[in-house]
Amino acid sequence: MKYMDEYRNSQVSQKLIQEIKDLVHQTWNIMEICGGQTHAILRFGIDRVLAPEIHFIHGPGCPVCVTPVQKIDSAIQLAFEADTILCSFGDMLRVPGTKTSLLTARGQGARVQTVYSPLDSVQIAQQNPNKQVVFFAVGFETTAPVNAMAVKKAKELGLKNFSLLCAQVLVPPAVEVLLSDPYCQIQGFLSAGHVCTVMGYHEYEPIAEKYKVPIAVTGFEPVDLFLGIKECVGMLERGMYGVRNAYTRSVHREGNILAQALMKEVFEVCDQQWRGVGCIPRSGLKLKSEYVDFDAELKFNLNIVGNGQEQTVCIAGEILQGKKKPTDCPAFGTLCTPENPIGAPMVSNEGACSAYYQYERR
């Protein structure tokens, strides 16, 4: 199959649905890690067509949603600094910090500029030599290579007015945290194809071995998801565990070696706070000492160890950990809507609350 519509082919999908139903002899709890997969599962009704045998648990795979409140507060602080431009992807602008969001701050005069690539921020720094330009670097392993490229480019150009506010997170440590929970009910995983395109899936093999769970790498279209679900269910029904690749058109075991080398040149692993989850050891990236001049936290002497608090009515943390559904939240669809979000999962295009709201789960 070569074209997108072939991965939405109803006949192929129906055949795979029947094959999955023929495999299933009991109910299984499967977590899709990625928020993009959550949206696809709800958008195409995959959860309904496979119910009740397959119960989907929505994971923390939304980098916008797990960016800690303190980082957003720091981004807002930087945006109000004199002679500073804070650059960010558009999906971060409406995510609430402790008191406000970047979008509201921009309306109050803060210098917040939406960009489509961190390299755009480098260009803005070139064009504005008298201003400090900070790129809010948010994302999983998928965005890390291009963020690393931006830093390298800025160093090559000798730019002294460019830096990163880094909120990069890594998926495998979060999977381990979920599985190590004594109350964990996850029996199998669908792993995110875009992350594995960069990193491969060899990192998941020791996790599958340690916790005796099946992990299927899959994409985001219906046929992709059905193939991944079939692989995962097949292993569950046979009492097997391990990693299977159901996204072979994009993913290879070792991943993109060049992209990984670029990441390793610029970043090193660190502990990282996850919004709604807490501190996960070795789950983040920070700039190496060779690139420390581009670290906004150090350049602006930011203190990001504060106790930024979530809105108490919001249960985003439990939703991000798969312990509750968006519809379990008392604020869902009333106090909290995409136009008036309280929690980050209602803002992002990969957030579970946004998916439930958009696809009529109210």
d(CA 258, CA 289): 21
Instruction: Give the contacts of 240 (CB within 8 A, at least 6 positions apart).
Output: 214, 234
Give CB contacts under 8 A, 24+ apart, made by 123-129.
Answer: 124/85, 124/87, 125/154, 125/159, 125/161, 125/162, 126/157, 126/159, 128/85, 128/161, 129/161
Number of C-beta neighbours around residue 26 at 10 A:
7
d(CA 28, CA 40): 19
Instruction: Encode pLDDT of 181-237 as tens digits.
Output: 999 999 999 999 999 999 999 999 999 999 999 999 999 999 999 999 999 999 999
Q: Which two tokens stand for residue 85?
A: 């431009």
As a whole number, mean pLDDT of residues 267-283 equals 95
Instruction: Kindly list the strands in the beta sheet with 84-88, ordered across the sheet, starting from the edge strand earlier in the chain.
Output: 112-114, 84-88, 132-139, 162-168
Instruction: Encode pLDDT of 19-73 as tens digits.
Output: 999 999 999 999 999 999 999 999 999 999 998 999 999 999 899 999 999 999 9
CATH number for the region 1-309 comes to 3.40.50.11740
Cα 118 versus chain centre, distance = 17
For 127-181, the DSSP string reads: H-TTSEEEEEEEESTTTHHHHHHHHHHHHHHT-SSEEEEEEEB-HHHHHHHHHHS
CB 66 within 8 A of CB 275: yes
pLDDT at 1: 52
Q: Among candidates 184, 221, 202, which has minimal Cα distance to 16?
A: 221
Confidence of residue 304 (pLDDT cuts 50, 70, 90): low
Domain limits of the chain? Answer: 1-309, 316-358
Asked whether the CA dihedral 215, 217, 220, 222 is positive or negative, the reply is negative
CB 198 within 8 A of CB 174: no
